[in-house]
Amino acid sequence: MTQVKQLHALTNWSVREASIPTDAQEIVDIVGVYDSEPIEVGEFVRLYREWDENDPRSRLVAFESDGIIGTAHVRRRAAMTQGLFFLNLYVRPENCRCGVGSGLLKLGEDFARGHSATHIVAFAHESCPHSRGFAESRGYVLERHIFESVLNISKVDMRGGSQLRTEAEHAGYKIQSLADAGWNEDSKRRLYEIISECDLDEPATQTLGGISYNDFLRDVVNAAWFRPEGVFVAMRGKEWAGVHTIGPLDGSQTADATTDFTGVRRPHRGRNLGKTLKWAGIDYVRKLGRTKVMTHNDSTNRHMLAINDAMGFERRPGMYLMKKALIS
């Protein structure tokens, strides 16, 4: 049952659980003000409906008589670090600094506490200048900085990628898309296994935890951008040594293609396979007519930053991961 909570006697706005799909368009519109990769309404509804019912989550909306003015999404998934919850908070710019964000934040934290949370990570967008200060004034501290990098394909000399691919093949590696290698249940599982293994060395994963297979299917394989043609694997015999996933991105004003993951298994590192795979992905989206590729970087992931810088990616604003210990 939808519950409406009046937060302050002097306000003319209230908070309730979102009703999906009814509220989906208004929520997406608010999120799109701040997010450089705005989600399509259909994709938003799909992700909402396919959420594992065993994983706690609350999608709150603050509303006035003429519509929704803010939203908060607090949740955790089974594979996340024990006791950790995520929280995203968005308020329409014209409704900022009037208590809406504070009210949504409190209710989100209360929900997390009610489900045995010990810590919560909130995401503060750099595109909203006061969001980090808002979080810090409420007990959150900077955990890490995640930012975007964009590559203008028209300025890239693709001959560098061809040379790397030739060198990889001479070393016994075959670079192949999963559309060519075979896309089936076995390759889905193998893709999940190599991403999960390589992801363990990602700085953010070491802090925040990983992803389950079902969440991988929902968030990656079934995502609007995902194509088997855009999954490139470095194979040595029957072993998958490295992987890169990339796909078309629609609706963004920043880029028209997006990179999701690049990783190489430890025994095969130091051979330029990560860069080789990324070049294969760039060539793929270039042939689709895409002109700019976006990727996300952790400010502490020096190895991947070095690869992206060498390839010509230009850094853009991203978001701060702000962490707070919850006291029951």
- CATH number of the domain to which 190 belongs: 3.40.630.30
| Residue 113 in domain | yes
- The predicted model scores a pTM of 0.86
| Residue 257 in domain | yes
Domain stop point among 107, 139, 171:
139
Shared domain for 165 and 294, answered yes or no, is yes
| Residue 323 in domain | no
Shared domain for 294 and 167, answered yes or no, is yes
| Residue 325 in domain | no
d(CA 279, CA 161): 5
| Residue 324 in domain | no
Domain stop point among 87, 122, 139:
139
Shared domain for 271 and 297, answered yes or no, is yes
Tokens found for residue 222:
């079934």
pLDDT digits (tens, 9 = 90+) for 80-119: 999 999 999 999 999 998 899 999 999 999 999 999 999 9
| Residue 66 in domain | yes
Domain stop point among 108, 139, 170:
139
What confidence score (pLDDT) does residue 8 get? 43
Per the rule left: phi > 0, alpha: psi between -120 and 50, beta: everything else, 113 is alpha
Helix spans in the chain (H): 24-34, 41-49, 100-113, 131-136, 159-170, 178-181, 185-199, 203-208, 213-216, 273-287, 302-311
| Residue 326 in domain | no
Shared domain for 93 and 171, answered yes or no, is no
| Residue 104 in domain | yes
Q: How many domains does the chain have?
A: 2
Shared domain for 84 and 170, answered yes or no, is no
What confidence score (pLDDT) does residue 322 get? 96
pLDDT digits (tens, 9 = 90+) for 149-188: 999 999 888 888 889 999 999 999 999 999 999 999 999 9
Shared domain for 156 and 305, answered yes or no, is yes
d(CA 311, CA 160): 9
Shared domain for 312 and 172, answered yes or no, is yes
Shared domain for 294 and 165, answered yes or no, is yes
**Averaged pLDDT for residues 292-309:** 90
What confidence score (pLDDT) does residue 300 get? 85
Shared domain for 37 and 185, answered yes or no, is no
3-state SS class at 328 = coil
* Confidence check: pLDDT of 3 > 70: no
Shared domain for 51 and 110, answered yes or no, is yes
Range(s) of the domain holding residue 134: 4-139
Shared domain for 179 and 240, answered yes or no, is yes
Q: What is the mean pLDDT of the chain?
A: 92
Shared domain for 236 and 308, answered yes or no, is yes
Is beta strand 292-298 parallel, antiparallel or unpaired with respect to 257-264? parallel
